[in-house]
Amino acid sequence: MLEVEAKYRVPAGFALPPDLAATPAPAERHEDHYLAAPDRDLKATGEAFRLRRVNGRNFLTYKGPKHPGAVKTRTEIEVPIGAGAEDPADALRLLGCLGYRPVAVVRKTRRPFAVEVDGWPVTVCLDEVDGLGPFVEVEVLADEGRADEAQAVVRAVAADLGLTDLEPRSYLTLVLAEGPSRRPEGASGNSPG
């Protein structure tokens, strides 16, 4: 499955227009622990690997190299692991024993909204990223053969929302640009993509 998304900087207080007919989901608190691989430089290959905590649920996520283009398109594989605080700590210790190193932690509050556009389920997320401010992400999941269609849908939704300040960098890249104070103890400067 491909994740097709675009992220935009927005002013504080940005709201979705009432005529969007978006269905809100409960707000989520994300804590993303990004890891560097022992066998390759994920930043150089354009990949990313993280452990994500969302409201007490936990996931390991791999993101493949980015396809060319302004709309970020890449393979995403997400696997749930145990819930609560102990399971992710154990998973991080296990990954550390296998040579994975912490790079940075990205924390954000996300308010997701579901929208349907031309038969495509679209997720529009209002994100408040700790230390970085507000963003809007527009995302579609698509099969490999429908990437171009999905990219067109993402661009159309962004245009309908009046989003113009495209931010091509990941939250991880933006957090790392803030300096070493944002990295966990023992973290390297070698960031995944």
Q: What is the CATH number of the domain that holds 90?
A: 2.40.320.10
Global pTM reads: 0.90
- The percent of residues above 70 in pLDDT, for the chain, comes to 93
For residue 124, is pLDDT > 60?
yes
For residue 139, is pLDDT > 90?
yes
For residue 52, is pLDDT > 60?
yes
The residue with greater pLDDT, 105 or 178, is: 105
Query: What is the reported pLDDT for 183?
Result: 53
Angle at 1 between CA 112 and CA 40, to 5 degrees: 100
Confidence of residue 152 (pLDDT cuts 50, 70, 90): very high
Query: What is the reported pLDDT for 70?
Result: 86
Location of structure tokens 């040579």: 99
Location of structure tokens 């009046």: 162
Structural domain harbouring 66: 2-176
- Determine the average pLDDT of the residues in 69-93: 93
Q: Which letter does DSSP use for residue 108 in this model?
A: E
Within a domain: 184: no
Query: What is the reported pLDDT for 193?
Result: 60
Within a domain: 188: no
- Determine the average pLDDT of the residues in 135-152: 96
For residue 182, is pLDDT > 80?
no
Tally of domains within the chain: 1
Three-class DSSP category at 165: coil
Q: Which of 9, 5, 4 is nearest to 136 (CA)?
A: 9
Within a domain: 192: no
Confidence of residue 184 (pLDDT cuts 50, 70, 90): low
Confidence of residue 159 (pLDDT cuts 50, 70, 90): very high
Confidence of residue 106 (pLDDT cuts 50, 70, 90): very high
For residue 24, is pLDDT > 70?
yes
Farthest-apart Cα atoms in the chain, separation = 51
Confidence of residue 179 (pLDDT cuts 50, 70, 90): confident
Identify whether the C-beta of residue 137 lies closer than 8 Å to the C-beta of residue 5: yes
Three-class DSSP category at 22: coil
